[in-house]
Amino acid sequence: MIVLLPPSETKRAGGDGPPLRIDALGSPELGPLRTELVDELVALAADRPASRKALGISESLDGEIDRNAAIRSAPTMPAIHRYTGVLYDALDVESLRGATASRARARLAVGSALFGLLRADDAVPAYRFSATSKLPGRPTLAARWRPVLEPVLAGLAAEELIVDLRSGSYAALGRLPGAVEVDVVSERPDGHRSVVSHFNKAHKGKLARALVSSRAEPTDAAGVATVARKAGLRVERRGNELTVVLST
């Protein structure tokens, strides 16, 4: 089983790993496009106004542009430790030990706008680049990633069950028919339901933690739902679609 996470805009700074080696990342088929995007992002960093526009940031975040300028020389750390934010706080991979930590490294992957697909131990630097970023004069990221990323994802799905926790913009970079998809909704006492944002990320993080903590090896959505329920989540299933329901 692979649990495919979204990345985060925020990244942990620093690291004690050597500079980025694109040829050492998993899924080497993605190497040529990874190299193109890294080169384009580093070059773009020389033009701060263009970088702000492409990345959708203000002057107050110019430090993110400096990060991009240093992508090739900056220290690295495993991808699963690089990303931060609500989902990763709930996952809390740093607290995992022993066999659970080993399962996390084997089962967790991250969908990335810059690298396409990262496994937990892939060493990456801090950077700023999202699925909605628009590099000047270039096709959309979805148009560039789909032809190379979708075959890689399809190959993975042919071997293992994939639980896709990516947000819509990242799922658009590489569609994955047949994966277990997860939504999070809140339910009021009157039964009315609505999609949530902050709690969406938190509960997807909790689900990811449950899936890497379990010794079970789910082979379908029903098995994933069973693991989630044992972890205390209220889950409904419809085919390959799971809904985590929060009572408010």
- Give the number of C-alpha atoms closer than 13 A to the C-alpha of residue 144, restricted to the C-beta side: 23
The set of residues, in sequence order, having a beta carbon less than 8 Å from that of 22 and lying 6+ positions away, is: 31, 34, 35, 38
Measured distance CA(90)–CA(67) in Å, rounded: 26
Q: Assign 246 to helix, strand or coil.
A: strand
| Main-chain dihedrals φ then ψ at residue 81, nearest 5 degrees | -100, -15
- Give the number of C-alpha atoms closer than 13 A to the C-alpha of residue 214, restricted to the C-beta side: 22
What is the value of pTM for the model shown?
Answer: 0.95
Closest CA to 109 of 191, 243, 4: 4
The tokens 């050597």 sit on which residue? 18
Cβ(152)–Cβ(210) under 8 Å?
no
Closest CA to 14 of 76, 69, 70, 58: 76
CA angle (166, 167, 173) in 5-degree steps: 75
pLDDT in tens, the chain (248 residues): 999 999 999 999 999 999 999 999 999 999 999 999 999 999 999 999 999 999 999 999 999 999 999 999 999 999 999 999 999 999 999 999 999 999 999 999 999 999 999 999 999 999 999 999 999 999 999 999 999 999 999 999 999 999 999 999 999 999 999 999 999 999 888 888 888 776 889 999 999 999 999 999 999 999 999 999 999 999 999 999 999 998 77
The stretches of 108-239 forming alpha helices (DSSP H) are 141-159, 168-171, 198-213, 221-230
The set of residues, in sequence order, having a beta carbon less than 8 Å from that of 231 and lying 6+ positions away, is: 206, 207, 209, 210, 213, 214
Dihedral, CA of residue 221, residue 223, residue 227 and residue 232, to nearest 10: 60
The tokens 């992957």 sit on which residue? 109
Closest CA to 107 of 90, 119, 98: 119
Measured distance CA(5)–CA(26) in Å, rounded: 16
Residue ranges per structural domain of the chain: 2-247
**From the CB of residue 94, how many other CB atoms can be counted at a distance below 10 Å?**
10
